[in-house]
């Protein structure tokens, strides 16, 4: 069984890197936390890893727009490295701010950092920061590597700009992985089940290969049973809902 190496990319304002490192370590990966400048200077190289992650936070204070500054750095300074990483079969995961970065860098919904962004994430319809737990339905037809074998999820969100926006043509071509639902699984749920007003109740998407995945909810914040807000009232489970996302990534990467 080959050893899987994951790199958690951080920048000024990242604040979920430690939790993401821990989640991948618990899933069996060898994990490095790397400042983006270390990757730009090639002190650490993407080619040494099978999994690249952009965790949650507020990189560069979300100046201009959420994730925009880091997205520009990826596109202009690491674009060729990221494209090669994808072509070589690597996995990319973007969580919350990472979702914002990946779409604004043009990496999603396609697979080229040089492409023109086709979708964006804008301010929540509520006009405020939304911090709550949400129910999620998983698209069983999605090619996403990270969500294999998962039907539903219950995860926390914490964002001010999580509304997926796209023109109708682009929207119809998206590989949607996750939908906001109500507690009964209806994907027609409105606020607060859909915390941001995202079109189509979209909470996560992937590229055509299923190897580049981004979602607004935080799976790294629910990898243990005791992280559930009602854990004392529920049947004890070995893991939280988010853990299988990390397990799936590591298991798949073992074959690279």
Which pLDDT tens digit goes with each residue over 30-48?
Answer: 999 999 999 999 999 999 9
- Does residue 207 contact residue 147 with C-beta atoms inside 8 Å? no
At residue 116, the pLDDT reads 65
**Which residues carry out catalysis?**
96, 218, 220
Residues 6+ apart with CB under 8 A from 141: none
Domain range for 207 is 5-253
At residue 35, the pLDDT reads 97
pTM: 0.95
The total domain count for the chain is: 1
At 239, give phi and psi (nearest 5°).
-130, 160
At residue 114, the pLDDT reads 45
- Does residue 254 contact residue 4 with C-beta atoms inside 8 Å? yes
Give the CATH number for residue 175.
3.40.50.880
Mean per-residue pLDDT, 18-27: 98
Residues 6+ apart with CB under 8 A from 113: 74, 75, 78, 79, 82, 83, 105, 106, 107
Concatenated DSSP letters of 168-196: HHHHHH-EEEEEEE-TT--TT--TTTSSS
pLDDT (tens digit, 9 = 90+) per residue, 195-251?
Answer: 999 999 999 999 999 999 999 999 999 999 999 999 999 889 889 999 999 999 999
At residue 62, the pLDDT reads 93
pLDDT for 112 beyond 90: no
């Amino acid at each position: 069984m080959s050893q899987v190496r994951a790199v958690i990319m951080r920048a000024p304002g990242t604040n979920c890197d430690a939790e993401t490192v821990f989640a991948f370590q618990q899933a069996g990966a060898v994990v490095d936390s790397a400042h983006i400048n270390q990757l730009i200077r090639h002190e650490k190289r993407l080619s040494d890893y099978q999994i690249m992650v952009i965790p949650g936070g507020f990189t560069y204070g979300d100046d201009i727009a959420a994730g925009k500054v880091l997205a520009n750095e990826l596109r202009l300074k690491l674009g060729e490295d990221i494209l090669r990483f994808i072509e070589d079969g690597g996995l990319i995961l973007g969580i919350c701010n990472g979702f914002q970065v990946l779409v604004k860098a043009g990496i999603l919904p396609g697979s080229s950092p040089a492409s023109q962004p086709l979708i964006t994430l804008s301010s929540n319809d509520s006009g405020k920061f939304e911090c709550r737990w949400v129910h999620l339905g998983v698209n069983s037809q999605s090619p996403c590597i990270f969500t294999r074998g998962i039907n539903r999820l219950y995860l926390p969100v914490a964002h001010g700009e999580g509304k997926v926006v796209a023109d109708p043509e682009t929207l119809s071509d998206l590989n949607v992985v996750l939908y906001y639902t109500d507690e009964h699984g209806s994907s027609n749920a409105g606020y607060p089940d859909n915390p941001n007003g995202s079109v189509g109740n979209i909470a996560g998407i992937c590229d055509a290969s299923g190897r580049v995945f981004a979602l607004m909810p935080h799976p790294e914040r629910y990898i243990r049973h005791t992280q559930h807000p009602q854990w004392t009232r529920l049947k004890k489970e070995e893991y939280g809902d988010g853990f299988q996302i990390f397990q799936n990534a590591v298991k798949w990467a073992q074959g690279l």
